[in-house]
Amino acid sequence: MSVENSSVVASNPSAGIVIVGAGLAGWHVIDAIRTKDKDIPITLITADNGDRYHKPMLTMAISQKKSAADLVRATGSDAAEAAQVTLLANTHVINIDPVSQTLQIASSTQSETPTAISYDKMVLAMGAHPIFPKSLPKDLVWHVNHIERFGQLQEKLASGSQHVAIVGAGMVGTEIAEDLLKAGHQVTLIDLNDAPLSQMLPSKATARIAGAVKSQGINFLGGYQITEVIRISDGNNIGKLQVSYEPLDAQNTVSSQSEPLIVDHVIASTGLTVDDKLPAAAGVEFNRRTGIVVDATTLRTNTSSIYAIGDCMSINGVACRYVAPLRAQAATIADDILGHDHDGYEHKPPMIRLKNKAISVMVTGVPQAAGNWQITTETDEELIMNLLDDNNEVSATVTIKAPVILKS
């Protein structure tokens, strides 16, 4: 095996396994295969350098003063050498031909002619990418879905206390808001809904989260829609960003214009989506809302010899965008690729924990804001609610405990 830090190599004569994507999911598949087979050829293709890091740490690292380099557990080249895989770093897959079982790849750093490589089995582990609504221009707005972009933002924030607007109060946005506040920055958290995590949990639960967020000193603007973000080019605030927004009424219609915010940075935390270009080229069944459709037991797609894992895939109509199940998913794919007997993957919704210290939020099952939520415990210190399905069976549980007083 060889490690290629430039991106394009000649066709692999022993096609073996090709993995597209070097995030947690892709590396977990490599680990699982190498546990069972030390010799089968593996080629890993990634648009970045393939470094191994734990993505959930990105929403905690700024207050902990950990740089992007601190979060890297192993460089892509070192990890590839240790696992004896061929790493095609800084490389894009531009087409997949499922009939000939080949991929067309091209370097993102060189202007070489695209190269074809073959595969016996392929695993799509390409993840999902942030959604940028039209009101959030990519050239003015940050995201923290990738370590490289996180590192660039962290460098900008290193010069001292700054005002950061975060658009989207889901789990990631709410976690980043607290992390930046603890790092000494002024934070405004903006969401279409009246409280954080409102797409996941009922209003009685989210009201407690909103209270904890506000009690820290985070400026939470619930029920607002961003209309424009522009760079200020004159006056005392030259170089800063002007964020215009409008309040929504109960029917989600605009009621009036609000005074714009003047901030140093804007972070988008407005959800993820999966690029459909490669699935379409491969003839893989794809759902625009949830991603690549796989068989729930084998994680195979409907296209022969192609699997999917992690953020880019969905099972039974539900996107799989949590880290905890990745090891089990990778083990199933490894066994299936290698022809080993296995019991099949059994998808279990992972326990979800909000990483904020200001309040303890733990969710099990498959939560959704709308539904038959029943209170089992309600005190000043604790709220426990169960979501009942049509058969009055518990399908999700949320436990919220009183906020912890943060030390200054």
- pLDDT tens track for 328-366: 999 999 999 999 999 999 999 899 999 999 999 999 999
325, pLDDT greater than 90: yes
Q: How many helices and strands in the chain, by DSSP H and E?
A: 8, 28
User: Between these two residues, 83 and 236, which has the higher pLDDT value?
Assistant: 83
Question: What average pLDDT does the segment 29-34 reach?
Answer: 98
Question: What average pLDDT does the segment 222-247 reach?
Answer: 94
3-state secondary structure of 386: strand
Single pTM value for the model: 0.91
405, pLDDT greater than 80: no
What percent of the chain has a predicted confidence (pLDDT) above 70?
A: 93
- Please say whether the beta carbons of 388 and 374 come within 8 A: yes
Q: How far apart are CA 61 and CA 362, in angstroms?
A: 21
Q: Give residue 236's pLDDT band: very low, low, confident or very high (50, 70, 90).
A: confident
Q: How far apart are CA 75 and CA 243, in angstroms?
A: 38
All residues at 6 or more sequence positions from 273 whose CB lies less than 8 Å from its CB, including other chains:
128, 129, 130, 131, 288
**281, burial (CB in 10 Å: exposed 0-12, middle 13-18, buried 19+):** middle
Please work out, in degrees rounded to the nearest 5, the angle formed at the alpha carbon of residue 71 by the alpha carbons of 65 and 122. Answer: 155
Q: Give residue 12's pLDDT band: very low, low, confident or very high (50, 70, 90).
A: very low
pLDDT at 5: 42
130: which 2 tokens? 């942030």
pLDDT at 13: 45
Q: How far apart are CA 115 and CA 50, in angstroms?
A: 20
Q: Tell me which amino acid residue 242 is.
A: Q
